[in-house]
Structure 1
Amino acid sequence: MKLIGIADTTFARYDMGKAAIDELERTGTGFRIIRVTVPGMKDLPVACKKLIEEQHCDICMALGMPGPMPKDKMCADEASNGLIRAQLMTNTHIIEVFVHEDEAKSDSELAWLADRRAREHAVNVYDLLFRPERLTQRAGTGLRQGFEDKGPVYKQ
C-alpha cells in the first residue's frame, strides 16, 4: 500500500487539502493518506520532510495560499525553495500546489481556482505513483492546473 502525504496550512483561505483528498479517493485505490496541517507556507517543507522520513510517505502534496503582498510572495518563494530542498534531501516528489490570492478577481473565483488546482494536482500525484505512462502521454500538451490549458505549440 502506497502512502500519500498531504500538508496544508491554516493560512489558506480554502481547504485545499480536503479537495485533494476527495479527488484522490475518487481517482483510485491502493493508497492511504496521511494529512498534516501547519500554520503557514514556510512550515510546509519540514511537514513534508517529516511525512516522508517519519511516516514513510511515497509522495507528498504541499498546499498553500500566498497572500497578495510582497512579503507574502517572498514567503511563498522561500517555502518553494524549501520544498525543492526537501525533495532533493529525501529523493521523493513533493508536488507544490500554491494558489496566489491575486490570481483571482473575486473570492468565488479564488475558491474555484483553489479547488480545481488541488484536484488536478491530486490526479498528477496519483499518476506519478500508479500510472506514470499517463504523464508521458500528456508531455508537451500545455496542461495547466487551475485555469484553462494552453495547449501545445507545433513546429511549422
Structure 2
Amino acid sequence: MTVRVGIADTTFARVDMASAAIKKLKELTPKIKIVRYTVPGIKDLPVACKKLIEEEKCEIVMALGMPGKEKKDKICAHEASQGIMMAQLMTNKHIIEVFVHEDEAKDERELEWLAKRRAEEHAENVYYLLFNRKFLEKNAGKGLRQGFEDVGPVRE
C-alpha cells in the first residue's frame, strides 16, 4: 500500500529543503508517493498543507520554510505556525513544521547544512509517524533535536 506524503515549501527559502526531505523519504521506503506544492512565502504554507491533505489526499504533510532575520519575518513565521496548527486541527492530520530561521546559523554554509539536515531529520519523523510510531515513543524525553546536536534528557 502506498501512502501519499505532502511536501509544502516556498520560493522565499534560500535552500531547497524539499529536495532534501524527498530524497530522505525515498531512501527510507518505497511505500510513499510524494506530492509537492511550492508557494511564494511562509504565510502561504497553511493553505498549501490543507489543500495537500484535502484535495491531494495526503496522509501527512511537511511544511518547509525559511523565515528571514527581521522582526517582520519572525512575525510572519509565527502567523504561519498558527495557521499550520489550525490546519492540523481542521484536517485531523499531522503537518510537520520544518522552519529554519536565517539567524540560527553563523554563516551561509552552516545555514545550508542546517536546512538540509533539519529537513532530512524531520523526514525521518514523518516516516516513523507513518510506519513505526513505537520508535518515537521509545525516544520520548530524550531531548532529541532536528538539525543541531541533541541536548539530551534532564536526567539519565
TM-score (norm 1): 0.98
Please provide the CA RMSD for this pair.
0.7
Correspondence list, 1:71-82, <5 A = 71-82=72-83
- How many residue pairs get aligned? The number is 155
Distance 1:67 1:154 in 2: 35
The alpha-carbon deviation at position 29 of structure 1 amounts to 2.3
State the secondary structure of the residue aligned to 2:109: helix
SS at match of 1:129: helix
* One-letter identity of the residue aligned with 1:152: P
Q: 1:153: Cα distance to partner?
A: 1.5
Give the counterpart letter for 1:121 in structure 2.
H
- 1:112 and 1:31 map into 2 onto residues whose CA distance is 25
- Structure 1 unmatched ranges of 5 or more: none
Residue 44 (structure 1) aligns with: 45
Are the aligned partners of 2:60 and 2:93 in contact in 1 as well (CA < 8 Å)? yes
1:49 is displaced (CA, Å) by 0.1
Q: State the match for 1:150 in structure 2.
A: 151
Q: 1-side partners of 2:25 and 2:31: how far apart?
A: 11
**Partner of 1:9 in structure 2?**
10
Runs of at least 5 residues in structure 2 that lack an aligned partner in the other structure: none
Measured against aligned partners, the alpha-carbon deviations of 1:9-32 in whole angstroms (never above 9, x if no partner) come to 000000000000001011122111
- Which whole-Å CA distance do the structure 1 matches of 2:48 and 2:93 have between them? 13
TM-score (normalizing by structure 2): 0.98
Aligned counterparts, 1:1-150, within 5 A: 1-150=2-151
- The letter for the 1-side match of 2:149 is E
What is the percentage of aligned positions where both structures have the same residue? Answer: 66
Measure the CA separation in 2 of the matches of 1:18 and 1:154.
Answer: 37
Deviations 1:58-98 (A, max 9, x none): 00000000000000000000000000000000000000000
